[in-house]
Amino acid sequence: MRGYDSHSSVKYEREGVLSMNSSVTQKERIVSLDIIRGLALFGILFINVAAYQMLVEGGPMPDYSGINGIINTLIDIFIEKKFFSIFSFLFGVGFYIFTSRAEARGDKPRWRFARRLLALLLIGIVHVFIFWGSILAIYAVIGFLLIPFYNAKVSTISKWLFAIVTVHVLSILGQLFMPNQGALSTVFGILGNDAVTIFIMFLTGFLAAKADWISHISEYSKQIKWLQFVTFPLFVGISLWIWFAAQGGYENLNSVISLGVIPTTYFYLACLFVLLENKKIAKLLKPIGRVGQMAFTNYLAQSFIGLAIMSLMGLEVVSPSDVVIIAILIFIIQIIFSVIWFKFFKMGPFEKVWRFMTYGRKKVAKK
The 10s digit of each residue's pLDDT in 218-246 is 899 999 999 999 999 999 999 999 999 99
Residue 311 · residue 52 · CB < 8 Å:
no
pLDDT bucket at 55, cuts 50 / 70 / 90:
low
Tell me if 354 sits within 8 A of 119, measured CB to CB: yes
What angle (nearest 5°) sits at the alpha carbon of residue 82, between those of residues 80 and 84?
95
| 338, 289 Cβ separation under 8 angstroms | no
**Residues 305 and 330 sit within 8 Å (Cβ to Cβ):** yes
pLDDT tens readout for residues 109-126: 999 999 999 999 999 999
Straight-line distance from the first to the last Cα atom of the chain, in angstroms, rounded to the nearest whole number: 30
Helices assigned H by DSSP within the chain: 26-48, 67-78, 82-104, 109-128, 136-143, 154-177, 183-191, 194-210, 221-247, 253-275, 279-284, 286-293, 295-313, 320-344, 349-359
Q: Which class for 186: exposed (0-12), middle (13-18), buried (19 or more C-beta within 10 A)? A: exposed
Residue 209, amino acid: A
pLDDT above 80 (res 54): no
d(CA 334, CA 11): 30
pLDDT surpassing 50 at residue 93: yes
Average pLDDT value over all residues in the chain: 89
**Cβ–Cβ contacts within 10 Å for residue 77, how many?**
20
Query: Using DSSP, how many helices (H) and how many strands (E) does the chain show?
Result: 15, 0
Q: Please report the pLDDT score of residue 29 as a whole number.
A: 44
Report the percent of the chain where pLDDT is more than 70.
89
CB 209 within 8 Å of CB 157: no
| Rounded Cα gap, residues 367 and 359, in angstroms | 17
Question: What's the CA gap between 38 and 334, in Å, rounded?
Answer: 10
How many C-beta atoms lie closer than 10 Å to residue 116's C-beta? 22
The residue extents of the domains of the chain are 27-359
Reply yes or no on whether the pLDDT at 14 is more than 50.
no
pLDDT reported for residue 61: 84
Strand partners, 17: 25
pLDDT digits (tens, 9 = 90+) for 277-304: 999 999 999 999 999 999 999 999 999 9
CB 241 within 8 A of CB 184: no
> What residue spans of 253-348 are helical by DSSP H?
253-275, 279-284, 286-293, 295-313, 320-344
Residue 2 has pLDDT above 60, yes or no: no
Measured between alpha carbons, how far is 202 from 119 in angstroms, rounded to an integer? 18
The residue type found at 216 is: H
C-alpha span between 364 and 116 (Å, rounded): 14
Q: Which residues lie closer than 8 Å to 296 by C-beta, 6 or more apart?
A: 348, 350, 351, 354
Q: How far apart are CA 96 and CA 202, in angstroms?
A: 10
3-state SS assignment for residue 281? helix
pLDDT over 90 percentage in the chain: 80
